[in-house]
Amino acid sequence: MASSAASSSSSVFALLGAVFALHLCCCHGRQGVAAIYSLGDSITDTGNLVKEAPPGAFETIKHLPYGVTLGYPTGRCSDGLLMIDFLAQDMGLPFLNPYLGKNKSFDHGVNFAVAGATAMDPAGLFGPRSFSMPFTVSSLKLQLRWFKDFLKSSFATDEDIRKRLQSSIVLVGEIGGNDYNYAFFTNKNVSDVEKLIPAVVQTIIDAAKEVLDMGASRVIIPGNFPIGCIPGYLTTMGSSEPSDYDSTGCLREMNLFAAKHNSKLQQAIAGLRSSYPNASIAYADYYNSFFSILKSASSLGFDANSTRMACCGAGGKYNYDERKMCGMEGTTACAEPSAYLSWDGIHMTQAAYKAMSRLIYHGRYLQPQILNFPEKKGKK
Ligand SMILES: *[C@@H]1O[C@H](CO)[C@@H](O)[C@H](O)[C@H]1NC(C)=O
Ligand SMILES: *[C@@H]1O[C@H](CO)[C@@H](O)[C@H](O)[C@H]1NC(C)=O
Ligand SMILES: *[C@@H]1O[C@H](CO)[C@@H](O)[C@H](O)[C@H]1NC(C)=O
Ligand SMILES: *[C@@H]1O[C@H](CO)[C@@H](O)[C@H](O)[C@H]1NC(C)=O
């Protein structure tokens, strides 16, 4: 059902594309955007981790029910499409191919994001072998190196790279969420994990600077989700004390933590804007757009009773069990992923990502709103 919604909307986009193509040069999508480049983690990975992972590793995301809404698995950590896919579609561009995918077109962008990636180098973060879940070593720094290698091998001169980036959108993140996830998983307490925030934010900002120095003129830097609302944290950090939960049933302390990261990130982005006055640098507010969806879940078509439940899992209060993650034996996916916000307890459903991408890319949660979709004309 959701897949037919996706295909009918893509034919609408194809139609719009035909109309707008008249005003654009042959090789650009809407708004003069020729390409989208993306650095990040599982929120945006469209297939890198599954290419990187040896056989036997990360089997769950290589198989259904991952991808069930599309009808086949794609390496995306969801039942279907991600925010980055909706952004590409809205820009009149094809979906971003994963950098590690073989024989794929990178004419309209590349996705360097790897599920599980951290902002900081894993070794620097936790010391050698001091944490148990090195999902991937493809941290932001390595992704940035891929990005540079790709541009250098695709364009003859730095000036050509600059020109290309001036007609592109570059997403730096969401990234950093895993730095914190891994720290929390090793049973560090919130005040310990908070100590990582300045270095994580600095790592993100340093990456954005490199991208801007290469010539990027439109950069989007997303913040973290309200992680206290996701089934994974609600389960592992659950409390018997009612006052630990807010009125929406989310864990206060975890949301406060995410808000601290976001506020530090926004401050740093403001500094970046003053260093690069000619570039458009936007903060994508995943935190408040998620809350906006949570608060109007039923009017958006979600089951208001399931906003904190994973669609795919093995039972329990939030349908999440870290020993039985979606796709493992004994787990099942719900019949209607589009009624849920959370797909597997960590990642969101296609329907939730679609709703978020509308609020962000077409609404007020991209700050400032650097994309200017036609529908906004006429409204104020
Ligand atoms: C990839 O492209 C190369 C060169 O064009 C070709 O030889 C090879 O068969 C292709 N591989 C796949 C899997 O399509
Ligand atoms: C957090 O853990 C550290 C040890 O890693 C301890 O020194 C500190 O008191 C703890 N803080 C809180 C608020 O529990
Ligand atoms: C910003 O743009 C202005 C006007 O186009 C130009 O004169 C100036 O050199 C640019 N500044 C930087 C830092 O690129
Ligand atoms: C949601 O829960 C409320 C209260 O428990 C119940 O009355 C309502 O029928 C439920 N809605 C759905 C769609 O299950």
| CATH number, domain containing residue 350 | 3.40.50
Cα separation, 197 vs 236, in Å, equals 21
Give yes or no for residue 4 CB within 6 A of ligand 1.
no
Ligand nearest to the CA of 183: 2
Helix (H/G/I), strand (E/B), else coil: 203: helix
Give yes or no for residue 192 CB within 6 A of ligand 2.
yes
Give yes or no for residue 303 CB within 6 A of ligand 4.
yes
Helix runs in the chain, H state only? 2-21, 48-52, 59-62, 83-90, 122-126, 140-154, 158-166, 177-185, 190-194, 197-213, 231-236, 252-275, 286-295, 350-361
302, 305, 336: residue to mutate for ligand 4 pocket, most atoms within 8 A of CB: 305
Judge whether 42 counts as a catalytic residue: yes
Query: Looking at the structure, do residues 91 and 3 belong to the same domain, yes or no?
Result: no
Query: Looking at the structure, do residues 249 and 373 belong to the same domain, yes or no?
Result: yes
Cα separation, 266 vs 67, in Å, equals 33
191, 195, 253: residue to mutate for ligand 2 pocket, most atoms within 8 A of CB: 191
> How many domains is the chain built from?
2
Q: Tell me the residue range of the domain where 294 lies.
A: 35-378
Cα separation, 272 vs 41, in Å, equals 22
Nearest to 45 by CA among 117, 103, 102: 117
Instruction: Encode the chain (380 residues) as per-residue pLDDT tens digits.
Output: 334 443 444 443 433 333 333 333 445 677 789 999 999 999 999 999 999 888 877 889 999 999 999 999 999 999 999 999 999 999 999 999 999 998 899 999 999 999 999 999 876 666 544 444 456 778 999 999 999 999 999 999 999 999 999 999 999 999 999 999 989 988 889 999 999 999 999 999 999 999 999 999 999 999 999 999 999 999 999 999 999 999 999 999 999 999 999 999 999 999 999 999 999 999 999 999 999 999 999 999 999 999 999 999 999 999 999 999 999 999 999 999 999 999 999 999 999 999 999 999 999 999 999 997 765 444 43
Query: Looking at the structure, do residues 53 and 131 belong to the same domain, yes or no?
Result: yes
Query: Looking at the structure, do residues 123 and 1 belong to the same domain, yes or no?
Result: no
Query: Looking at the structure, do residues 242 and 123 belong to the same domain, yes or no?
Result: yes
Query: Looking at the structure, do residues 153 and 268 belong to the same domain, yes or no?
Result: yes
Query: Looking at the structure, do residues 6 and 51 belong to the same domain, yes or no?
Result: no
pTM for the full model? 0.89
